[in-house]
A and B are shown apart, each in its own frame.
Chain A
Amino acid sequence: MNLLENIRLAFGSLLSNKMRAILTMLGIIIGIGAVIGIMTMGQSLSGYMSSTMQDIGVNNVTISLQAKEDDDQRAGSGNGMDAMRQQMLARLMGGQDEYTEKDLISEAMLANIEQYFSDEIDYISVTDSVGSGSATDGRKYANLSMMGVGTDYANANNVEMKAGRFITERDLEAGKKVAVVSEKLVGKMFGGTDPLGEQIHVTTDGKPGTYTIVGVYWYRQDVMAIPSTASEKNLSTNVYIPLSTANKITGNQGSQSVTIITKAGYDSAAFAKEAEDYFNNVFYSRNQNYRVSAFSMESMLDMMTDMLNTLQVAIAAIAAIALLVGGIGVMNIMLVSITERTREIGTRKALGATNGVIRMQFIIEAMIICLIGGVIGIGFGILIGNIGASILGFPAEASLFAIMLATGFSLAIGLFFGYYPANKAAKMDPIDALRYE
């Protein structure tokens, strides 16, 4: 009795009881579908995240100022998540007034560090957040947050220009009142007309200002932002002005945070640690209140991927319970089927089928149920995953690994839950089986 004949036999027996076969498969379909759906969504999300972060730059190391009393208990290893939280918290509380000028990261420090780590550092991007507000022109308005940047900012953060130019060296030297705005802002303020050379009136934190638009960049959603929480109308985009201009408004002579772009090929996570130690030893060892912490995009990415994977495993474990229930369903129906076919089993034995042949026949039947269920489940799961991914707004990516795993797993379920009933069939006494009514 070869495999092919067993498979044909199994199909025959499933076809003769279609409704029952479908209901049995349903458990497997739901289980496998759930696992695949979740894995597809997870894969899509992490793929999207890493590609977006790649855009921002895995070579980026952010150094930011941090109050010392917060981290007494910490070993001072640049924990990215903590640094991020601190930064966000500081921004939320408008905590700029707590530190004095001498605490900030100064031009001198940056010059020093750029020289010290000249092998690793490609360039340093300094920013100065002016604040958030809006641009108004009659009844038209657009939300924005204004940021003073250097010429390298565009490179460091992958700002893509749609028209005009980015902030230049000359803008910085002269402290010009020029601005680079997003195409979203342009759409709201200028409609179809060419915005280059036009003036916008901006109010940030109550302070008014007028800037000449010199460039327009393509708006890109922030990875960290929760997707589409703000409606398109109230969307806030960045307006970039020269750092020197921003410093004049804020009165800052240094920065709370700078981004160091490492040269390609350097381990930015390791560099973050080195730079942090260097900063703290050289510039902040005698500072009572502040130190810096550094984290790299790379470690950030690793962390988020880890987090996502853990979440995925947790959800997949729940889905696996559905699969277990499905498997028990298969076992149940196989037991029913074997009882119903007792006489057939007896006949087969009388005709010379060995126990092994009978066992194999029913195991294959169980495996076929699970395989068909698994394949349908995979299709179903990919569909769910795609719908889920498109709702959350990122490109779907079916996981080939998950598909192969699911196929193998459904066969394994068939084998595992089919074995007991099949063995029961194999061990039937042919005399009793032949007389079974």
Chain B
Amino acid sequence: MTESAETQVKTIIDLRDITKSYFIGHPNEFQALTRVNIRIMQGEFVSVVGESGSGKSTLMNIIGALDRPTEGQYFLDSLDVGLESDYELSGVRNRKIGFVFQTFNLIPRTNALMNVELPMTYAKIPQRERQERAKYLLEMVGMGDRMKHQPNELSGGQKQRVAIARAMANDPAIILADEPTGALDSVTGHLVMDIFHKLHEKGKTIVLITHSQELAEETERIITLRDGEVTAERKGSGKKVGRT
């Protein structure tokens, strides 16, 4: 990434000296994140890797506007997330962030279509419009023929594809994926990665949080976290590598 590219491309995520401490003032106080500085540009496919306990979950919570940093500033799409109220944070999550979880987290007893519609429902988009978009998104992830299926009638890979469609619902600034292939076998996992690559090609900003080096290699940039600090940052291939 060169200086010129930086000025041309918009910064989507800007973490400045982010510190997150727990149990402040208690004997067992500890810092999950220490002075973390990360900038992610629009259209980038970035991975954050680290062992468990490295602080990547805490980082994900902060990037996902689920939590606020103890110190430092976080700008998401030029918005100072640290200053927002709980109510406004709900709106930020709703419109700016698309979550993909390891355990899919589809709403039970609610069909695929309704699951994809849900973020748009919270955004108060009229029913016809959101239904059309939900159908379009499900077709995009190859789930067009299973729109009326309930989560318990879908396989893991299918569930994750529905979850990705749901993450795309409000056309968010970033897709935040937390171990999206962690609960899938390698073949299905690769299918899911293929969808991320496809979204990336279309210009979506994607942040992938994983402990798998193999998956991280497929992204453009790999940020390594250890004991709450960024210890390494290097380029990845940004392509499907090492698999057929």
A residues neighboring B (CB under 8 Å) = 1, 5, 12-13, 16, 343-344, 346-357, 430-431, 434
How many whole Å from B56's CB to the nearest CB in chain A? 14
Q: Cβ of A354: which chain B residues have Cβ within 8 Å of it?
A: 87, 90-91, 122
Q: Is the CB of B90 within 8 A of A353?
A: yes
A350-B64, A431-B61 known; A16 and B87 CB under 8 Å?
no
Q: How far is A358 from B241 in the complex, measured between Cα atoms in Å?
A: 43
Q: Is the CB of B107 within 8 A of A347?
A: yes
Q: Is the CB of B121 within 8 A of A1?
A: yes
How many whole Å from A232's CB to the nearest CB in chain B? 62
Q: Is B101 an interface residue (CB 8 A)?
A: yes
Q: Is the CB of A12 within 8 A of B91?
A: no
A13-B109, A344-B107, A434-B105 known; A353 and B86 CB under 8 Å?
no
Q: Is the CB of B108 within 8 A of A344?
A: yes
Among B61, B87, B93, B108, contact of A351 (Cβ-Cβ < 8 Å): B93
Q: Is the CB of A348 within 8 A of B66?
A: no
Q: How far is A291 from B123 in the complex, measured between Cα atoms in Å?
A: 84
Q: How far is A357 from B123 in the complex, measured between Cα atoms in Å?
A: 11
> Beta-carbon contacts of B99-124 to A below 8 Å, as 1s and 0s?
10100011111100000001101110
Q: Cβ of A349: which chain B residues have Cβ within 8 Å of it?
A: 66, 90, 93
Q: Is the CB of A348 within 8 A of B118?
A: yes
Q: Is the CB of B123 within 8 A of A352?
A: yes
A343-B105, A344-B108 known; A351 and B64 CB under 8 Å?
no
- Pairs A–B under 8 Å by Cβ, sample size 17: A12-B109, A13-B109, A347-B105, A347-B107, A348-B118, A351-B99, A351-B166, A352-B91, A352-B94, A352-B95, A352-B119, A353-B94, A353-B122, A354-B87, A354-B90, A431-B67, A434-B105
Q: How far is A143 from B186 in the complex, measured between Cα atoms in Å?
A: 99
How many whole Å from A15's CB to the nearest CB in chain B? 8
Q: How far is A431 from B95 in the complex, measured between Cα atoms in Å?
A: 18
A347-B107, A355-B86, A355-B87 known; A430 and B66 CB under 8 Å?
yes
- CB-based A-B contact count at 8 angstroms: 62
Q: How far is A346 from B107 in the complex, measured between Cα atoms in Å?
A: 10
Q: How far is A16 from B151 in the complex, measured between Cα atoms in Å?
A: 14
Q: Is the CB of B122 within 8 A of A352?
A: yes
Among B66, B109, B123, contact of A350 (Cβ-Cβ < 8 Å): B66
A1-B121, A434-B101, A434-B105 known; A351 and B94 CB under 8 Å?
yes
Q: Cβ of B61: which chain A residues have Cβ within 8 Å of it?
A: 431
Q: Cβ of A12: which chain B residues have Cβ within 8 Å of it?
A: 109-110
Known interface pairs A351-B93, A354-B87; 7 further A-B residue pairs with C-beta atoms within 8 A, sorted by A's residue number: A344-B107, A344-B108, A347-B101, A351-B166, A353-B122, A355-B86, A355-B90
Between A16, A344, A350, the greatest number of chain B beta carbons within 10 A of the residue's beta carbon is seen for: A350
Tell me which residues from 70 to 110 in chain B have a Cβ below 8 Å from any Cβ of chain A.
Answer: 86-87, 90-91, 93-95, 99, 101, 105-110
Between B86, B99, B108, the greatest number of chain A beta carbons within 10 A of the residue's beta carbon is seen for: B108
Q: Cβ of A430: which chain B residues have Cβ within 8 Å of it?
A: 66
Q: Is the CB of B66 within 8 A of A351?
A: no
Q: Is the CB of B105 within 8 A of A5?
A: no
How many whole Å from A10's CB to the nearest CB in chain B? 12
Task: Using CB atoms, name the residue of chain A closest to B106.
Answer: A347
Q: How far is A1 from B125 in the complex, measured between Cα atoms in Å?
A: 9
Q: How far is A177 from B104 in the complex, measured between Cα atoms in Å?
A: 100
Closest 10 CB pairs of A and B: A352-B94, A347-B105, A354-B90, A352-B122, A351-B119, A352-B93, A16-B109, A350-B99, A430-B66, A431-B66
Q: Cβ of B110: which chain A residues have Cβ within 8 Å of it?
A: 12
Task: Using CB atoms, name the residue of chain A closest to B176.
Answer: A350
Q: How far is A347 from B98 in the complex, measured between Cα atoms in Å?
A: 11
Q: Cβ of A344: which chain B residues have Cβ within 8 Å of it?
A: 105, 107-108
How many whole Å from A360's CB to the nearest CB in chain B? 12
How many whole Å from A13's CB to the nearest CB in chain B? 7
Q: Cβ of A352: which chain B residues have Cβ within 8 Å of it?
A: 90-91, 93-95, 119, 122-123, 170
Q: How far is A350 from B166 in the complex, measured between Cα atoms in Å?
A: 12
Among A13, A343, A357, contact of B122 (Cβ-Cβ < 8 Å): A357
How many whole Å from A423's CB to the nearest CB in chain B? 14
Q: How far is A344 from B118 in the complex, measured between Cα atoms in Å?
A: 12
Q: How far is A350 from B67 in the complex, measured between Cα atoms in Å?
A: 11
Q: Is the CB of A351 within 8 A of B109?
A: no
Q: How far is A425 from B186 in the complex, measured between Cα atoms in Å?
A: 36
Task: Using CB atoms, name the residue of chain B closest to A357.
Answer: B122
Q: How far is A310 from B174 in the complex, measured between Cα atoms in Å?
A: 67
Q: Cβ of B119: which chain A residues have Cβ within 8 Å of it?
A: 351-352
Q: How far is A351 from B101 in the complex, measured between Cα atoms in Å?
A: 11
Q: How far is A13 from B107 in the complex, measured between Cα atoms in Å?
A: 11
Q: How far is A12 from B151 in the complex, measured between Cα atoms in Å?
A: 14
Q: Cβ of A343: which chain B residues have Cβ within 8 Å of it?
A: 105
Q: Cβ of A346: which chain B residues have Cβ within 8 Å of it?
A: 105
Q: How far is A222 from B122 in the complex, measured between Cα atoms in Å?
A: 67
Q: Cβ of B105: which chain A residues have Cβ within 8 Å of it?
A: 343-344, 346-347, 350, 434
Q: How far is A356 from B123 in the complex, measured between Cα atoms in Å?
A: 14
Q: Cβ of B66: which chain A residues have Cβ within 8 Å of it?
A: 349-350, 430-431, 434
Q: How far is A347 from B166 in the complex, measured between Cα atoms in Å?
A: 12
Q: How far is A356 from B101 in the complex, measured between Cα atoms in Å?
A: 24
